[in-house]
């Protein structure tokens, strides 16, 4: 084919992907309904629906040359046709096979657009053979055929009503005008997201105008201060005016004339300042009016843009029924999933982020909460458990996701035992925990009540991910469980994502933002409020000792505290939830304001302790902190020794390998790191370094880039490809300083990139200290 024809085929296949997803979802939903629908008439309608979807998918696959998908669809059609003709039943085995076929088609059509859609041919051939067998098995007797309600075409003809001929009217009857279908166009999601991002940028204009109004209000306030000061000296000025008008000697007259000029200037200045005040007040009113006008315009534009990406919850919940079905069959359990509020609309970006957490909750419910059918009968429960997922719009711009089950509930004894074993809490602390606090421990990383690690559970990560994702989106997750009765997980989230309320703080000279929703309290801590408990500095909150750490220490920022810095106490923000609270000391709590969120792109999309960037109303950039990460980092800081009086942290010894072909540079780097307390070994080039890394254990590699045999970029890539060495931190120290070289280093997997032209040994030591 010509290039033009090839491009046209690629466009067709891209369109086919979208259409195929719709047809596959229709068939999958229909198969699930067949399992749960008792009505014979309804089953007949469902079979007709899936039959038509399979037929349409077959035709679309043929049009784009996906022959394997076409053959599978033909085999599915044959099965559905046999159901319509009452030749076989939609048995559980048949439904399992059809679900596997749908998965195979989804995998084949999800291949890159330029592929031929053949997929794994042996596997697809095996599935076609299995489909052919479905028409042979489960033959029905006439009695069974009648019970299914899947009527044949002959039955339909027999039951059809008689045809009554109607005489043609003498005059033509008026014909109602046809109502055409509403016109629609397909627009890629990426284009809609781009428009939304542009609309969100307009928020900056709204915030800036608001800041200008605040500036003008402050300016007007300064005139009040001037007026008060003038009111105090005005009587004296009047007195001086009277004195200057009195006759006297020439010298006195000369002095009086000078005084009169000064007083005239004061009078003129007073009038001039009053005019300026009037103009400033008028400008403030105008700016306020502009603020409301621009604010309404931006809010309307953003709201309309958001609606383009507001999707019903059903767009992610469609696969949940299948997930529950498959997990029940794998574990030998019986459960029914009921979903309410599927039409509730939520921002597409939030839906995508929350799909995995909801899957984790469903898996957790089936693995830990729902009992086997035999166990449920023994406890007097129905053998078939119920899981409910309800989505509701609540006050403001928020939605509530509530997932509940009527299973066994949470065994808090096992939860606390797991937390104690991991060293997260002491036995004494466990004994003091309330029931809600004990249940909340399940959100801590690695806490699990599963006796073994399986593909489904046992690692203690699922619920930790749920809280981390929820927190990142500005939401909150809670759990409530009753032993023997069941468990309820409740998640509250913003329905849209663009701005949020944040508390602006300063630590070590940096502007930082903490989500308001996760700050329990702001206070000031004096030396009398602090206590040392088991080597950790604490303050008392709600009658309990809460760890106190400096935010600058947690973020590993250089910091020097002056004795006179906090005369009225250190500003403290208490973060966390019932199961884990930490007090973070900051330099200053500046303000609470509406924050415009700017997501971080690669390679900064996952930086420890950092969630995103923020554009403040004054145009400055601040860092939005990840509270979950902060709580984890705070535990490590709280366990380390206090800072020395100089404010520097002691460096823990580590083994460092230096790869450098220049003996001078090699000895220089070795000297710097050894003087900082590290054990150092050297290699003469990349190949020598890789051999040493395979033979011995190192905590970090410092490498040049331009070396014989194996350069630094290739050495880094080789390390990342080695399973044993993949997590080794790598610092590249090189003379290559172009942006392309730095990007190449990042792509290779380097953790730090230091340019020799601006080399500073403190930068190297700081980089090594952070990575080890």
d(CA 21, CA 2): 29
Q: How many residues does the chain have?
A: 772
Q: Say if CB 616 and CB 511 are below 8 A apart.
A: yes
pLDDT at 337: 92
Q: Which of 462, 461, 488, 494 shows the shortest CA–CA distance to 476?
A: 494
- Which helix (H) or strand (E) element contains residue 61? helix 40-63
pLDDT at 118: 56
Token digits of residue 108: 């084949």
Q: What are phi and psi of 359, to 5 degrees?
A: -65, -40
The partner residues of 402 in beta bridges, in order of sequence, read 390, 490
Which residues 6+ apart lie within 8 Å of 616 measured at CB? 207, 504, 511, 593, 595, 622
Instruction: Please provide the DSSP assignment of 715-757 as one string.
Output: HHHHHHHSTTTTT--EEEEES--SHHHHHHHHHHT-SEEEEGG
Which residues 6+ apart lie within 8 Å of 549 measured at CB? 537, 582, 583, 584, 585, 634, 637, 638
What DSSP designation does 166 have? -
Which residues 6+ apart lie within 8 Å of 730 measured at CB? 700, 701, 703, 716, 719, 749, 750, 751, 752
| CB atoms inside a 10 Å sphere around CB 483 | 13
Q: Say if CB 439 and CB 445 are below 8 A apart.
A: no
pLDDT at 149: 43
| CB atoms inside a 10 Å sphere around CB 128 | 18
d(CA 549, CA 561): 14
pLDDT at 403: 95
- Which helix (H) or strand (E) element contains residue 629? helix 627-639
Q: Which residue has the tokens 């469609």?
A: 318
Q: What are phi and psi of 411, to 5 degrees?
A: -85, 95
Q: Count CA atoms closer than 13 A to 551's CA, side-chain side.
A: 28
Torsion sign across C-alpha atoms 113, 116, 119, 120: negative
Q: Count CA atoms closer than 13 A to 405's CA, side-chain side.
A: 28
| CB atoms inside a 10 Å sphere around CB 345 | 19
Token digits of residue 254: 């000369």
What DSSP designation does 493 have? E
pLDDT at 121: 64
Token digits of residue 389: 């997922």
pLDDT at 238: 72
Segments of the chain scoring below 50 in pLDDT: 113-114, 136-181, 249, 251, 253-254, 452-455, 458-459, 640-652
The partner residues of 490 in beta bridges, in order of sequence, read 402, 478
N- to C-terminal Cα distance for the chain? 56
Token digits of residue 527: 């030396």
- Which helix (H) or strand (E) element contains residue 62? helix 40-63
pLDDT at 142: 36
R_g (Cα) of the chain, nearest Å: 36
Which residues 6+ apart lie within 8 Å of 106 measured at CB? 20, 21, 24
Token digits of residue 77: 């059609």
∠ Cα 724 730 734 (to 5°): 145
User: Among residues of the chain, what percentage have pLDDT more than 90?
Assistant: 11
Q: Which of 472, 118, 499, 492 shows the shortest CA–CA distance to 302?
A: 499
Q: Which of 284, 278, 165, 279 shows the shortest CA–CA distance to 215?
A: 284
């Amino acid at each position: 084919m010509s290039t033009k024809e090839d491009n046209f085929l690629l466009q067709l296949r891209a369109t086919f992907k979208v259409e195929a997803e719709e047809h596959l979802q229709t068939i999958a939903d229909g198969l699930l309904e067949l399992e749960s629908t008792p009505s014979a008439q309804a089953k007949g309608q469902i079979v007709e629906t899936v039959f038509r979807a399979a037929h349409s998918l077959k035709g679309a696959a043929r049009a784009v040359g996906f022959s394997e998908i076409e053959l599978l669809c033909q085999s599915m059609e044959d099965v559905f046709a046999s159901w319509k003709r009452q030749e076989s039943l939609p048995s559980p085995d048949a439904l399992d096979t059809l679900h596997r076929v749908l998965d195979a088609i989804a995998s084949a059509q999800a291949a890159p657009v330029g592929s031929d859609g053949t997929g794994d041919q042996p596997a697809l051939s095996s599935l076609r053979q299995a489909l052919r067998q479905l028409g042979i098995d489960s033959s029905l007797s006439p009695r069974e055929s009648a019970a299914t309600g899947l009527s044949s075409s002959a039955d339909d003809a027999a039951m059809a009503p008689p045809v009554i001929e109607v005489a043609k009217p003498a005059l033509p009857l008026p014909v109602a005008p046809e109502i055409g279908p509403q016109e629609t166009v397909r627009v890629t999601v990426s284009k809609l997201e781009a428009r939304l991002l542009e609309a969100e940028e307009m928020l900056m204009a709204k915030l800036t105008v608001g800041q200008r109004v605040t500036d003008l209000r402050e300016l007007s306030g300064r005139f009040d201060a001037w007026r008060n000061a003038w009111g105090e000296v005005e009587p004296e000025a009047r007195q001086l005016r009277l004195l200057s008008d009195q006759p006297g000697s020439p010298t006195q007259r000369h002095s009086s004339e000078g005084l009169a000029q000064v007083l005239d200037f004061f009078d003129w200045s007073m009038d001039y300042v009053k005019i300026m005040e009037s103009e400033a007040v008028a400008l403030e009113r105008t700016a306020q009016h502009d603020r409301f006008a621009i604010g309404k315009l931006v809010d309307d534009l953003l709201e309309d843009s958001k609606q383009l990406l507001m999707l019903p919850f059903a767009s992610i919940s469609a696969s949940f029924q299948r997930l529950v079905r498959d997990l029940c069959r794998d574990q030998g359990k019986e459960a029914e999933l009921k979903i309410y509020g599927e039409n509730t609309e939520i921002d597409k970006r939030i839906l995508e982020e929350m799909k995995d957490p909801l899957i984790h909750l469903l898996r957790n419910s089936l693995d830990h909460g729902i009992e086997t059918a035999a166990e449920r009968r023994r406890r007097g429960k129905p053998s078939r458990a119920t899981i409910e997922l309800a989505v509701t719009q609540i006050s403001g711009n928020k939605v509530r996701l509530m997932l509940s089950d009527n299973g066994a509930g949470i065994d808090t004894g096992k939860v606390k035992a797991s937390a104690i074993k991991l060293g997260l809490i002491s036995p004494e602390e466990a004994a003091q925990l309330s029931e809600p606090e004990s249940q909340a421990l399940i959100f801590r990383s690695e806490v699990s009540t599963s006796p073994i690690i399986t593909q489904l559970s046992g690692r203690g990560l699922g619920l930790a991910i749920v809280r981390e994702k929820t927190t990142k989106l500005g939401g909150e997750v809670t759990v409530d469980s009753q032993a023997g009765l069941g468990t309820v997980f409740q998640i509250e989230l913003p329905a849209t994502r663009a701005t949020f309320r944040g508390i602006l703080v300063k630590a070590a000279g940096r502007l930082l933002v903490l989500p308001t929703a996760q700050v329990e309290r702001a206070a000031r801590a004096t030396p009398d409020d602090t206590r040392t408990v088991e080597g950790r500095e604490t303050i008392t909150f709600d009658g309990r000792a809460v760890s106190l750490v400096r935010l600058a220490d947690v973020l590993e920022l250089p910091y020097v505290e002056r004795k006179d810095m906090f005369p009225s106490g250190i500003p403290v923000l208490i973060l966390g939830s019932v199961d884990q609270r930490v007090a973070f000391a900051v330099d200053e709590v500046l303000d609470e304001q509406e924050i415009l969120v700017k997501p971080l792109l690669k390679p900064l999309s996952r930086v420890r302790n950092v969630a995103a960037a923020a554009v403040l109303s004054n145009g400055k950039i601040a860092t939005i902190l990840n509270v979950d990460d902060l709580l984890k980092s705070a535990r490590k800081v709280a366990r380390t020794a206090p800072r020395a009086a100089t404010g520097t942290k002691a460096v823990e010894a580590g083994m460092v390998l230096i790869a450098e072909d220049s003996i001078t540079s090699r000895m220089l780097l070795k000297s710097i790191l050894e003087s900082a307390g590290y054990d150092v070994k050297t290699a003469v080039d990349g190949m020598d370094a890789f051999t040493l890394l395979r033979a011995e254990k190192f905590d970090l590699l410092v490498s040049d880039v331009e070396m014989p045999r194996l350069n630094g970029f290739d050495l880094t890539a080789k390390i990342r490809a080695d399973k044993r060495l993949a997590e080794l931190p790598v610092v590249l120290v090189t003379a290559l300083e172009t942006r392309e070289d730095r990007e190449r280093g990042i792509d290779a997997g380097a953790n730090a990139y230091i340019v020799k032209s601006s080399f500073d040994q403190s930068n190297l030591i700081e980089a090594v200290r952070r990575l080890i």
